């Protein structure tokens, strides 16, 4: 595996690969890799001739400077993991190369960014769209791989790809979980042992909601989830929503829907975690 730090070098390599008829798979990450990332990388290695992974902690998608500064950075460990899953190139640029000047570009995603993550993290998706656009232009992949844990981000990127006519296929893989159900996340590294145990309540809350979806009104389920998660001052629910799986708009009633998405965000101590679950109401 070759580590590339300059965007110009990455562009030149990709240009040569594509001219040679190679299909390029791309997994963009912010590092602190875990099995969820590795699953995406393995899929890319199976489905493409060349796999590129990026590790870049993107400053423009953080609306909290402390969260940005504390985000786990484990590049040496990441390199070791990437070498085990068929990754051919690691693109690990610095912020000055990606943002040689302040980005003034503004993206708007309408109702899609007015709910959940967009409502609670103003400017977040503008930063996501900016960095994803830059990376797609640099890496020029045939396929780009994302995880379902960031369900709203995937929806934003899908809209971005369609709106800007990026010539690539967006691939979304299911969330990878620990044995106790906790969604794998780079932020989990920041949890203390007691907080790590407490964080499993998010998945349990999703399971509780799934169980009651066709027996109780949405408002009642939301109230019960809020009560269930009110365990301690160490866990603070930010939102729980039952939404349309495509538009991600909150639902008042699930009648007539074949599938819905359950989405939750909470602080465990100072660590903000998100999770979601797609529920097929026909099979539930």
CATH number for position 98: 3.40.50.620
Tell whether 65 is in a known binding site.
Answer: no
| Residue closest to 228 by CA, chosen among 238, 241, 219, 237 | 237
Can you give the residue range of the structural domain that contains 257? Answer: 186-280
Q: Is 277 annotated as belonging to a binding site?
A: no
The pLDDT value recorded for residue 75 is 97
Q: Is 197 annotated as a binding residue?
A: no
> Residue 262's beta-bridge partner residues?
242, 277
Question: 9 with 148, same domain?
Answer: yes
What tokens does 255 get?
A: 């009648």
- Mean pLDDT along residues 225-230: 94
- Residue 152 burial (CB < 10 Å; 0-12/13-18/19+)? buried
Residue 283, annotated as binding a ligand: no
User: Do the Cβ atoms of 186 and 75 come closer than 8 Å?
Assistant: no
Q: Is residue 178 part of a domain?
A: no
Judgement on whether residues 93 and 119 belong to the same structural domain of the protein: yes
SS3 state of residue 105: coil
Residue 36 assigned ligand-binding role: yes
Contact 232, 205 (CB under 8 A): no
Q: Which of 37, 120, 142, 173 is catalytic?
A: 37
Q: Which of 126, 146, 173 is the last residue of a domain?
A: 173
Which sign, positive or negative, has the C-alpha torsion 129, 132, 137, 138? positive
User: Which whole number is the average pLDDT over 24-29?
Assistant: 98
Q: How confident is the model at residue 246 (pLDDT cuts 50, 70, 90)?
A: very high
The chain-wide mean pLDDT, for the chain, equals 96
Q: Are 160 and 107 in contact (CB under 8 A)?
A: yes
Q: What is the pLDDT of residues 104-122, one digit of tens each?
A: 889 999 999 999 999 999 9
Q: Does 255 belong to an annotated binding site?
A: no
> Is-catalytic flag, 37?
yes
Do 199 and 232 belong to one domain?
A: yes
Q: Say what the pLDDT of residue 284 is.
A: 58
* Total domains in the fold of the chain: 2
**Which pLDDT score, from 0 to 100, does residue 167 have?**
97
- Is residue 259 situated within a structural domain? yes
Q: Is 54 annotated as a binding residue?
A: no
26-44: burial string, b at 16+ Cβ within 10 Å, e else: bbbbbbbbbebbbbbbbbb
**Residue 66 labelled as part of a binding site:** no
Of the pLDDT bands very low, low, confident and very high (cuts 50, 70, 90), residue 4 is: very high
pLDDT at 136 over 80: yes
Q: What values do phi and psi take at 75, rounded to 5?
A: -60, -45
> Coil, helix or strand for 4?
strand
Over 80: is that where the pLDDT of 232 sits? no
Contact between residue 209 and residue 225 where contact means Cβ atoms under 8 Å apart: yes
Write out pLDDT tens, residues 60-88: 999 888 999 999 999 999 999 999 999 99
272: domain CATH number? Answer: 3.30.1300.10
161 and 234 in a single domain? The answer is: no
- Assess if residue 179 is contained within a domain: no
Predicted pLDDT at 283: 74
Q: Is 137 part of a structural domain of the chain?
A: yes
176 known ligand binder = yes
**In the structure, what pLDDT confidence band is assigned to residue 233 with cuts at 50, 70 and 90?**
confident
Which pTM does this prediction carry?
Answer: 0.96
């Amino acid at each position: 595996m070759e580590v590339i730090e300059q965007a110009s070098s990455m562009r030149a390599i990709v240009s040569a690969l594509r001219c040679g008829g190679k299909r390029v798979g791309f997994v963009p990450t912010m590092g602190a890799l875990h099995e969820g990332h590795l699953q995406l990388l393995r899929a890319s290695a199976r489905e493409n001739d060349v796999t590129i992974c990026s590790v870049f902690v993107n400053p423009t998608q953080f609306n909290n400077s402390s969260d940005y500064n504390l985000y786990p950075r484990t590049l040496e460990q990441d390199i070791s993991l990437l070498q085990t899953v068929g990754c051919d190139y690691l693109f690990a640029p610095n912020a000055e190369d990606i943002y040689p000047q302040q980005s003034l570009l503004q993206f708007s995603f309408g109702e899609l960014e007015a709910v959940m993550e967009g409502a609670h993290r103003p400017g977040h998706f503008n930063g996501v769209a900016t960095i994803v656009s830059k990376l797609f232009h640099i890496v020029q992949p045939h396929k780009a791989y994302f995880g379902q844990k960031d369900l709203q981000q995937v929806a934003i990127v899908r809209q971005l790809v369609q709106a800007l006519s990026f010539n690539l296929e967006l691939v979304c893989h299911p969330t990878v979980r620990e044995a106790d159900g906790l969604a794998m996340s780079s932020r989990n590294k920041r949890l203390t042992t007691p907080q790590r145990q407490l964080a499993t309540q998010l998945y349990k809350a999703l399971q509780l909601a799934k169980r009651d979806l066709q027996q109780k009104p949405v408002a009642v389920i939301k109230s019960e989830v809020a009560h269930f998660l009110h365990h301690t001052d160490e866990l603070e629910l930010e939102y729980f929503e039952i939404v349309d799986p495509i538009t991600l708009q909150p639902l008042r009633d699930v009648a007539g829907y074949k599938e819905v998405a359950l989405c939750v965000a909470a602080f465990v101590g100072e660590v903000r975690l998100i999770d979601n679950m797609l529920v097929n109401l026909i099979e539930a």
